Structure 1
Amino acid sequence: MPFTLAAPVHSELVIKKSRFLGCVEPVSGREQAVARVDELHAEHPDARHVCWALMAGGHSAANDDGEPSGTAGRPMLEVLRHQELEGVLATVVRYFGGVKLGAGGLVRAYTDAVAQALLGAERVPLIRMQAMRFTVPYAFEGAVRRELDAHGAVLDDVHHGVNVEMNLQVPEDRTDALVQRVDDASQGRAVWL
Structure 2
Amino acid sequence: MVQQTLLGIERYEEEIKKSRFIALAAPIESAAQALAFFQSQGAPEATHNCWAYKIGQEYRFNDDGEPGGTAGRPILQAIEGQQCDRVAVLVIRWFGGVKLGTGGLVRAYGGVAAQCLRLAEKRDLIPMAELSCHCGFSDMALVQSRFEQFSVQVQAESFDAQGVQWTLSLPTDQQASFITAFTNMTRGQGVCAPVVAESE
Tell me, in whole angstroms, the C-alpha distance in 2 between the residues paired with 1:192 and 1:179: 6
Is contact 2:152-2:169 (8 Å) kept? yes
Unmatched runs of 5 consecutive residues or more in structure 1: none
Match of 2:167 in 1: 167
- Determine what percentage of the aligned residue pairs are the same residue: 35
What is the one-letter code of the residue matched to 2:9? P
Deviation at 1:21, TM superposition (A): 1.2
Deviation at 1:138, TM superposition (A): 1.4
What is the one-letter code of the residue matched to 1:4? T
Tell me, in whole angstroms, the C-alpha distance in 2 between the residues paired with 1:96 and 1:138: 68
Question: For 1:30-49, what aligned pairs fall within 5 Å after superposition?
Answer: 30-41=31-42, 44-49=43-48
What is the one-letter code of the residue matched to 2:168? L
What is the one-letter code of the residue matched to 1:22? A
TM-score, normalization: structure 1? 0.89
Tell me, in whole angstroms, the C-alpha distance in 2 between the residues paired with 1:10 and 1:35: 17
Is contact 1:11-1:113 (8 Å) kept? yes
Match of 2:130 in 1: 131
CA-to-aligned-CA distance 1:84-114 (integer Å, 9 cap, x gap): 2222222112233344322222222212211
Matched, 1:63 2:62: yes
Deviation at 1:55, TM superposition (A): 2.2
What is the one-letter code of the residue matched to 2:37? R
TM-score, normalization: structure 2? 0.86
Tell me, in whole angstroms, the C-alpha distance in 1 between the residues paired with 2:46 and 2:130: 43
Match of 2:90 in 1: 91
Is contact 2:82-2:114 (8 Å) kept? no
Q: Which segment is superposed worse, 56-65 or 126-135?
A: 56-65
CA-to-aligned-CA distance 1:95-134 (integer Å, 9 cap, x gap): 3334432222222221221122123122322201111121
The Cα RMSD (Å) is 1.9
Is contact 1:29-1:57 (8 Å) kept? no
Tell me, in whole angstroms, the C-alpha distance in 2 between the residues paired with 1:135 and 1:86: 34
Deviation at 1:169, TM superposition (A): 0.9
Q: Which segment is superposed worse, 97-106 or 57-66?
A: 97-106
Q: Secondary structure at the match of 1:133?
A: strand
CA-to-aligned-CA distance 1:59-79 (integer Å, 9 cap, x gap): 332211111101101111112
Match of 2:71 in 1: 72
Deviation at 1:3, TM superposition (A): 2.2
Q: Secondary structure at the match of 2:26?
A: strand
Question: For 1:96-115, what aligned pairs fall within 5 Å after superposition?
Answer: 96-115=95-114
Tell me, in whole angstroms, the C-alpha distance in 1 between the residues paired with 2:192 and 2:117: 42
Q: Which segment is superposed worse, 74-83 or 115-124?
A: 115-124
CA-to-aligned-CA distance 1:139-165 (integer Å, 9 cap, x gap): 111111122221111111222332211
Unmatched runs of 5 consecutive residues or more in structure 2: 194-200
Is contact 1:40-1:50 (8 Å) kept? no
Tell me, in whole angstroms, the C-alpha distance in 2 between the residues paired with 1:96 and 1:126: 37
What is the one-letter code of the residue matched to 2:7? A
Is contact 2:53-2:88 (8 Å) kept? yes
Deviation at 1:177, TM superposition (A): 0.9
What is the one-letter code of the residue matched to 2:13? E
CA-to-aligned-CA distance 1:18-50 (integer Å, 9 cap, x gap): 321102222123232122222224xx2212322
Matched, 1:119 2:84: no
